Amino acid sequence: MWRRILSAASMASLASSVVAQEFGPRDRLEAAATTSIGGPANAEAQQEQDRLRRLQTSRWPGFDRTIDPAESWKERLRKDTGLALSFDYQALYQRSDTTVSGVDEGASGQARILGTWTLADRGGSNPGSFVFILENRHKLGLDQTPTGLAGEIGHVGLTGLTFGDTGYSLSVAYWSQAIMGGRGGIVAGRIDPGDYTDILGYVNPRTGFQNFAINYNPVLTIPDPGFGIGGGVHLTDQIYVLGIVSDANGSLTDVDWFPGGAEFYKYAEIGWTPARNQRYLTNIHLGAYHIDAREDKGLPSSSGLVLSGNYTFENDLMVFGRLGWSDGNDPIAKKGATGGLIWRPGFYDDLIGVAVTWAEPVTAGLENQTTFEAFYRLDVSDNLALTADVQYLKNPGLNTENPLVFGLRLRFNL
């Protein structure tokens, strides 16, 4: 009997090794790119990347085995009912070497339940799914959060994107429908416009960079989640178009139907990629946005253009760049430029990232800002990652010093 058990274990180990080769970092991004028209941080793409990552070997296989029963149950549920459920928890601590208020550190946690329930044409070429994220963002042992730390250190921007203290929220709840045999898709409902704006394959504030100006072009004025509709289609295997319209007064915590009336955020882009499943890996696109004036909030309208691109080499090195222009007074910047890289050095699924953003602020009298960020993500197991991060903020806007912000982020996913 023991010989049979050992033989089965050897076969399982061999199968795991083969799967690991089949679903490396590039393969996961290729698979995720076909799940929806959104970027790599949207619910459908995040779930697919996490699901495939669990099929790889890791530093801590013993820990992986302890949660295999839960993962097996989830996989059976997905196959039997079409409901893909996942859970993740992120915690971020940040500390600055300078402050204008006396507060120099912040910490926040974020618990999420993600769901993609395929209810139409499951297994077919045009599936339709109900997608949702329930979450709770909360303080962790300190009076300030990473989102609020920017104001304490005089930085015009965000050093810890998504890590605030907003309590419970239904961040997204929408229908995602594939069309034209998977060549395109439509989303409608409560959407996060950031998931469909200026998409590049490195953008994910929970697994990569943390500063807003690195993840998104600082000339953009992207509202919080709200009701909207979007669509995208590949005109050819290489050329695609994408566009969304959503509530300009979107709120993460309040699920209201256009509380400010007919005030909209609009974004559209046309882009090129070598193939449909390469959209996250290699991409160049031209995008344009416009956001209406929000009368109740006293915010003006603004519009602008972005030109962005990234390229992934065979050694899993991705280089990326962005340019942006805006004519409004609402965004962080009138002009912006970003360049950087992410690279997997070959130690399991570890990730290194380095990027810099230059921005010309919209506020008169402020000097041009430079944001530098570098991180190393250590993937402890298939489900556990630890990221060390440093940000250097030159001319942050409201501080005569140039803050150096250190961060430590933990992510667990199931």
Reply yes or no on whether the pLDDT at 157 is more than 60.
yes
- What's the pLDDT tens digit per position in 71-105? 899 999 999 999 999 999 999 999 999 999 999 99
Integer Cα distance of 173 and 222 in angstroms: 18
Percentage of residues in the chain with pLDDT exceeding 70? 94
In terms of residues, how long is the chain? 414
Integer Cα distance of 158 and 359 in angstroms: 14
Is residue 311 classed as helix, strand or coil in its secondary structure?
strand
**Selection from 396, 296, 275 nearest residue 29 by Cα:** 275
pLDDT at 4: 39
- What's the pLDDT tens digit per position in 107-152? 999 999 999 999 999 989 999 999 999 999 999 999 999 999 999 9
Q: What CATH superfamily is the domain 11-413?
A: Porin (2.40.160.10)
Integer Cα distance of 180 and 73 in angstroms: 32
Prediction pTM value: 0.90
Please report, for the chain, the start and end positions of each structural domain, with discontinuous segments joined by +.
11-413
Integer Cα distance of 331 and 327 in angstroms: 9
> Which residues are bridge partners to 296 per DSSP?
none
Mean pLDDT in residue range 35-47: 94
pLDDT at 330: 84
